[in-house]
Amino acid sequence: MVKPSPFVYWAQTESTISLKIDLKNALKPDVKVLDNNVIFTAKGTGARGESQYEFNLDLFSNIKSLEPGGEHITLRVFENRIELILQKVKPVWWPRLTAQPQKPAWLKINFDLWKSEDGQESDEEKRDVMRDYPGMYDQLHQEEMGYRKEDLKKVYLFIYNLFQFVGYMYVMAVMGVRYVKLDYDSVTDTYEHVGSAMKFLQLMQYLEVLHPMFGYTKGGVLVPFLQVTGRAFVLFIMIDAEPRMQTKPVVFYLFVVWTCIEIVRYPYYMSQLYKKEFALLTWLRYTLWIPLYPMGIVCEATIILRNIPYFEETQKYTVSLPNAWNFAFHMPTFLKFYLLVLTFPGMFLVMKHMHRLRNIKLRPKIVIKKSN
């Protein structure tokens, strides 16, 4: 009669192999470890109920063989499982557990232990094996599960960037098609047709302020906050709040500049998530800003400048004394101050920041070859 085998879940570090044997209420487990072979026998409750279970594993490489409970082998019996810790002879990373590429159906990967230095409970600092061996982890996960497990943060960021890219492509397509059909007559009612989409996409960009805050992306919070808020100020306060500004041609030009920037930026971010380098995309990401950023700032400054007499007339957002808060705010004066900050220090800081990034990303790589 063939004895059934229990489910066995394995994990490894450079120096150890851990086996978690899915057997409950095991009685007197018998484990024999010889070089690269492990033989296990025990009576307990497993996948086929209460029975005598056994398995025989030919390992990929040699392990230190002693009796269980000795210096090199740790056997721990719990009510719901058995744990076996083996020491490798050579501290190297194994591409698989078994000597043969084909593994038995009852052998699984214990992904929960891939971040532990060993299978024992310890207060020592734990090492991220997935970070040290990302390719090996992905390969084993694909072999085990039939697909490659993706980090949920990476999946979310990819979906976000893809959504924004599709949104800005929609805006560009609508403006382009209308311009082809109506020529310059389409410029004056650009905001009427794509203003809602632009406002929604702009609000979504505030997620880019939260991403570094919660560790989804690297970098600080201040720079993306200032960039997103600066755009939102122009879009919502300067354009959306003043109907007379919505029909100005400068709004069309500003939307073209913003859209051209974003339909390159978001695909670049998507490629970086999966560490894919596309030379043309990288060059566009760190070169298009040279003409587009000054054009965008000029358009924004023009909109603010044209709005000053409108806000003088309507007194919108202006708070006059006397009032209950004893506070005064003159919106046209604020716009003049904002215009000075945007035009000179703002443009300088943004251009300096992008120039530094361009030098880092596009500088020639120096390869040093050793001669014989």
Active site residues: 293, 300
As a whole number of Å, the CA-based R_g of the chain is 32
Beta-carbon contacts of residue 175 (< 8 Å; ≥ 6 apart): 186, 190, 193, 194, 252, 255, 256, 259
Q: Which two tokens stand for residue 207?
A: 């997620």
Beta-carbon contacts of residue 142 (< 8 Å; ≥ 6 apart): 148
Of 77, 112, 137, 55, the closest CA to residue 85 belongs to 77
Of 212, 209, 206, 201, the closest CA to residue 164 belongs to 201
Query: From CA 238, how far away is CA 306, in angstroms rounded?
Result: 9
3-state secondary structure of 19: strand
Q: Which two tokens stand for residue 354?
A: 């992008």
The one-letter amino acid at 163: F
Instruction: Let me know if 16 is exposed, middle or buried by CB neighbors in 10 A (0-12, 13-18, 19+).
Output: buried
Give the number of other CB atoms < 10 A from CB of residue 331: 20
Instruction: Please write down the HEC assignment for all residues of 41-75.
Output: EEEEEECCEEEEEEEEEEECCCECCCCCCCCCEEE
Beta-carbon contacts of residue 66 (< 8 Å; ≥ 6 apart): 33, 72, 73
Query: From CA 285, how far away is CA 215, in angstroms rounded?
Result: 23
